[in-house]
Amino acid sequence: MKLTGAQIIMECLLEQGVDTVFGYPGGAVLNIYDALYEYQDRIRHIRTAHEQGAAHAADGYARSSGKTGVCIATSGPGATNLVTGIATAYMDSIPVVAITGNVTRDLLGLDSFQEVDITGITMPVTKHNYIVKDIRDLASILREAFQIANSGRKGPVLVDIPKDITAQTCAYEKQPPLPLAECGLPPQERLAQALELLNRAERPFVYCGGGVVLSEASEALSAFVEKLDAPVSCSLMCQGGFDQASPRYMGMLGMHGTKTAALAIQNCDLFIAVGTRFSDRVLCNAGLFARHCPILQIDIDSAEFNKNIEVDLRLRGDAKEILNTLQGMLETKDHRAWMADVASWKQAYPLRQVSPSQDGVTPQEVLETLNRLTGSQAIIATEVGQHQMWAAQFYTYRTPRQFISSGGLGTMGFGLGAAIGAQVANPGKRVVNIAGDGSFHMNCNELSTLAANQIPVIELVFNNTVLGMVRQWQKLFYENRFSQTDLDHTTDFPLLAKAFGVKALVIEKKADIEPVLREALAGGVPVLIDCRIDRDLNVLPMVPAGESVENPILEM
């Protein structure tokens, strides 16, 4: 049958199982939006307040569901407004397909109104991108885009489509999604070398990154560490990739990792890294990281081997397949003395937060109460800053895809859009976005998206009137010269929320915490909580830049 280019886009999205797209209309995508009107009973469209919010929503949809997120923007500024969201997805290996419109082909390269070379701009932050020059290639390009986004190390793909392509007609035939590229297992001799290291270890340390979540390897990881009898630490991107209620869990490792994890890395005799790229925030000082023991790295991307740190043995492949294979080869281990050491450290060095002000509210109390009231089952999105670390430290993540946060790029303004995407993908779950007041000022316009669509996200703003994380560094390393980090804003957050049509609540003292959270959770409507905390609360532990991850600061 013959369809317009815009209709072919819709049919290709349906082929891929897409039920929701996020975007913002404009001149170059008018034909696409006309087709969305025609297909509105099969494809839901969420119009965000800003294209960056659409990109983050597609990202949050993907992270929380395991499906591919899709966003749409018009040419020029619409397309460039997606770039930060695309880069965020790229840094964290999230499958997103971004569809942009462009000027008609005869106007390309002429500095036409709202023309921009978006494929050139996004080349460094996409797995691949396309500009469609022939309508006969449109369907195959879209199918390839989804295949590439989900094969191997996942990531975003952009498809730029000139407006005249969306208006032309072409024959279309429905096809099943293309098969994903198989990664396969490492050579048998490498698996044998890994087994030898595992058998020899008496104090193994298993460290997991976002690849565990992306490869659906959580169950395989759990079975592997039970057989190995090892403790586990997770990166920021792997929160929930291992059940944090397990006695094996030590907390995070790195700049804001736990003292338990720091002591464990000092004393382990084998470091096993699964699905992690050894970020500088984890290594802190690469020359001092796990220098006394062999390192075994499991990763799907060979470019990550020996990039940030030299490792002793590399296993390239899908984390789930490799863990299942190693677990099948391994005899059950007994490291009870080592596990007893870990348990004693956990007891000796718990995470504990005290407010500098009498009856002041601490994020620990708020998040632990939220965890109790939600039974550890909520999806928690975050912005970037102190609140992000507190959300990772003080909520107990039991399952993968519960924690939605910008790790690699560290994008302030990410969380609210991502929470929208997560809530749309998971209508039966409670979604809470943990924000700081600095990040909230970057995306508060998306409250209008919550209200217009009655998306029941809870926006929990830790309001300390400062840019907390930057201020913390200024306190430690810049002799309290607080340059541009004291916000002292006059924004009335509850009044602003009400202006957008969102219910507003306030936490000012300890006694407010539970009743306010209960009210927010019970409503089934979008809610903003203005949670007022002391500006001198810090994220601890903390490893100063360039120092060893083994020696975190516990007090300041």
- What pLDDT digit, counting tens, does each position of 169-195 carry? 999 999 999 999 888 899 999 999 999
CATH 3.40.50.1220, applies to 188-348: yes
pLDDT in tens, 415-471: 999 999 999 999 999 999 999 999 999 999 999 999 999 999 999 999 999 999 999
User: Which residues sit opposite 208 in a β-bridge?
Assistant: 234, 274
CA distance 424 to 426: 6
CB 164 within 8 A of CB 170: no
What pLDDT sits at residue 356?
87
Residue ranges, comma separated, of all CATH 3.40.50.1220 domains in the chain are: 188-348
327 is catalytic: no
Split at pLDDT 50, 70, 90, the class of 160 is very high
500 is catalytic: no
Of 11, 51, 115, 550, catalytic? 51
pLDDT in tens, 483-516: 999 988 899 999 999 999 999 999 999 999 999 9
At 537, phi and psi to the nearest 5? -70, 135
CATH 3.30.70.240, applies to 2-171: no
114 is catalytic: yes
Of 127, 163, 346, 503, catalytic? 163
CATH superfamily of 363-532: Thiamin diphosphate (ThDP)-binding fold, Pyr/PP domains (3.40.50.970)
469 is catalytic: yes
Local structure of residue 483 (DSSP, 8 states): -
- Count CB neighbours of 386 within 10 A: 25
**pLDDT above 70: percentage of residues in the chain:** 100
pLDDT in tens, 216-259: 999 999 999 999 999 999 999 999 999 999 999 999 999 999 99
For the segment 408-419, the average pLDDT, to the nearest whole number, is 98
Of 40, 113, 123, 519, catalytic? 113
Helix (H, G, I), strand (E, B) or coil at 13: helix
What pLDDT sits at residue 545?
80
pLDDT in tens, 48-64: 999 999 999 999 999 99
Split at pLDDT 50, 70, 90, the class of 360 is very high
Of 38, 67, 114, 227, catalytic? 114
| Distance of alpha carbon 167 from the chain centroid | 36
Residue ranges, comma separated, of all CATH 3.40.50.970 domains in the chain are: 2-171, 363-532
pLDDT in tens, 531-553: 999 999 999 999 988 899 999 99
| Average pLDDT of the chain to the nearest whole number | 97
What pLDDT sits at residue 359?
86
Of 321, 469, 474, 503, catalytic? 469
User: Which residues sit opposite 102 in a β-bridge?
Assistant: 162
51 is catalytic: yes
